[in-house]
Structure 1
C-alpha cells in the first residue's frame, strides 16, 4: 500500500488509495500514515494531512516532523511550533530534519525570536561547527537562502563556493546561488554558475502549480498555454490579479527558471 500511495498523482487518486487503506484496516500503520501526511501536504491538502496525523496512535519522529514540515510548507508557522511543543511533551527526540522544518516555518511566518531569523553570523557559527563529513547540501542551501533574504553578500559568496565544492547534481543550490548573484547585479558570477550547471549537466526541474477542479487535476507551468481555458485564465490574471498585486507592492524578481 505504501507503493500504491507514493505512486498517486494528485489528491483525487490519493484519497482513493486512502479509502482502500481504511477498508483494509491499515490506517494506524505508522509508516504508511507518514507517507500519507507527506503526500497530502505536497498535493496542497493540509486539512487531510492533519486529519491523518491526529488519530495516529504511534507517532514517531518522522510523523511529527512530517506534520511540522507540512505546516511550514503552507506557511503556518505558529501551528508548526505547537506541533513541535507537543512532540517534545510526547518524549520523541527531534532530529536535524525536524529543526530544518521548524526554522523554515519560523522564517515563513516572520517569527524572529522563535526562529532567530536574520542572525546570519550566529547561523554561520552553527554551520561552521558541523564536521565536514556531516555538512550536506541542505544545510548550506538553508543558510544561503537566509543570506539572500537578508542581503549578506559576503557570507553568501562563501557559502556559494562551499556548495560548488560539493559537486552536487541537485539544482537547488545552483539556482539559489545564481539568483543571489542576479539580485546583486553580479551577472558575471551569475553566468559562472550557469556554466557550472551546464558542465555538470545539472537540470532544474520546473516548478508547477496544481489544482483539483471537479475531480480533475490541472497542472500549470511557467508560461504554460496548453489548458483549454487558457484565455480565461490569463484574462483573470491580467485584469484582476496583476493590478491587485501591484497595489499590494509586489515587484517581480529576475530569477533563474531553466
Structure 2
C-alpha cells in the first residue's frame, strides 16, 4: 500500500492567526497594565507575571525593561515568581545576560527559577551552561522534577550534547526514581536524531515505557529530513499521521524530504494533503 493511501484527504482551513498568536499587545495584559498605571491602581504579583508573559509573546524587550523597573521600585524584586517571570521574559526576548543577572540577584530561588534559567540557556543553544546550572541546582539540594529534566534535555538537544543527554536521561530513574515522561523521550529522540543517530533514535522509540506521541515521531521525521533517510522518514510519517492526520507540518516535512530526493510525484501527493 502506498504511504499516501493511509493519509486522509482534507482541506486546510484558514487559521485564526490574529486571535491565536496574537495579539498580545492588543489583548489583555499590556494594555490593562498601562491603564492601571494611568489610573494609579497598584498591580499585584499575578498582574506582573501576566504582563511579563505578554512581553514574552511579542518580544517587547523595551516594555519588559520598563516593567522590570517598576518591579524593582515597588518591592517585587524579592518575589521568586515575579523574578522567574523576568528570567523568562529576558531570555525569550534575546537578552540572556539580563536574564542571568536577574537570576543571580534573586535572594531566594525555587525549583521553577532554576528550571527557567536552565531553559533560558537551552533556548540560546548554550547547553554546557544549562547543564552547569542544572548541576548547581542539585548541589544546592533542590530536587529536579519532570519540568527541570525536560529543560535540561532540551538544552542538550539544541547544543548537540549527546553523551551528556544520555547521562541526564539515565539520572531520571537511577538517581531520582522518577518515570520518564513522553516529553523526556521526545527530547532524547530529537537529540539523537539531530546528531545523526537515526537507528538509535528509532530503537529508543521502540523501547519507550510510555506510548510515543506525535511529537516523538515528528522529531524523528525532522531528523530524517536533515540526514536524508527516506525509508525511516516514511515509517515515522505513518505513525505521526495516525496520531495527527491534520498535522500540516508533518506533510510539509515529508514533502521536503521527497523534494530533496527529487521524487516529484510524491512531493505532489504530499502537497495535495496540505491544500
Give the TM interval when normalised to the shorter protein: 0.5 to 0.7
2:199 — aligned with what? Answer: 121
How far residue 50 of structure 1 moved from its aligned partner, in angstroms, is 1.4
SS state at 1:54 partner: helix
In structure 2, the residue matched to 1:55 is 105
Is the CA contact 2:241–2:247 (under 8 Å) kept in the aligned structure 1? no
Q: Distance in 1 between matches of 2:69 and 2:157?
A: 35
Cα distance, 1:46 vs structure 2: 0.9
Alignment of 1:90-101 (within 5 A): 90-95=141-146, 97-101=147-151
> Aligned match of 2:210 in 131, 145, 154?
131
2:230 alignment partner in structure 1: 153
Query: Is 1:83 the equivalent of 2:133?
Result: yes
Aligned to 1:216: none
Which residue is equivalent to 2:51?
4
Query: After superposition, where does 1:194-209 map in structure 2 within 5 Å?
Result: 194-198=271-275
- C-alpha distance in 2 between matches for 1:177 and 1:99: 30
Scaled by the length of structure 1, the TM-score of the pair is: 0.62
Following superposition, the deviation at residue 79 of structure 1 comes to: 0.9
Aligned equivalent of 1:29? 79
C-alpha change, 1:40 and 1:190, in structure 2 (3 Å) is farther
Per-residue CA deviation, residues 183-230 of structure 1 (Å, 9 max, x unaligned), is 3333444444433333xxxxxxxxxxxxxxxxxxxxxxxxxxxxxxxx
**Cα displacement (A) at 1:15:** 0.6
**CA apart distance, 1:98:** 4.2
How far apart are 1:45 and its partner, in Å? 0.9
The 3 A distance-change label for structure 1 pair 195 and 106 is: same
More helix per residue: 2
Q: Secondary structure at the match of 2:83?
A: helix
How far apart are the structure 2 equivalents of 1:45 and 1:181?
38
- Equivalenced residues, count: 194
* Pair 1:148–1:47, CA change in 2 (3 A): same
Q: CA RMSD in A?
A: 2.8
Provide the C-alpha distance between the structure 2 equivalents of 1:21 and 1:175, rounded to a whole number of angstroms: 44
Structure 1 gaps of 5+ residues are 199-258
Q: State the structure with more CA Rg.
A: 2
Q: Which moved more, 1:114-123 or 1:48-57?
A: 114-123
Residue aligning to 1:167 = 244
CA contact (8 A) 1:37 1:53 kept: yes
Q: Is the 8 A contact 1:81 1:102 kept in 2?
A: yes
CA distance in 2, matches of 1:88, 1:44: 26
Which stretch shows the higher mean deviation, 37-46 or 115-124?
115-124
- Looking at secondary structure, tell me which structure has more strand per residue: 1
Which structure exhibits the higher relative contact order, with contacts defined as CA atoms closer than 8 Å and separated by 6 or more residues?
Answer: 2
Contact 1:181 1:190 in 2 (8 A): yes
Over 3 Å counting, the alpha-carbon distance change for 1:93 and 1:99 in structure 2 is closer
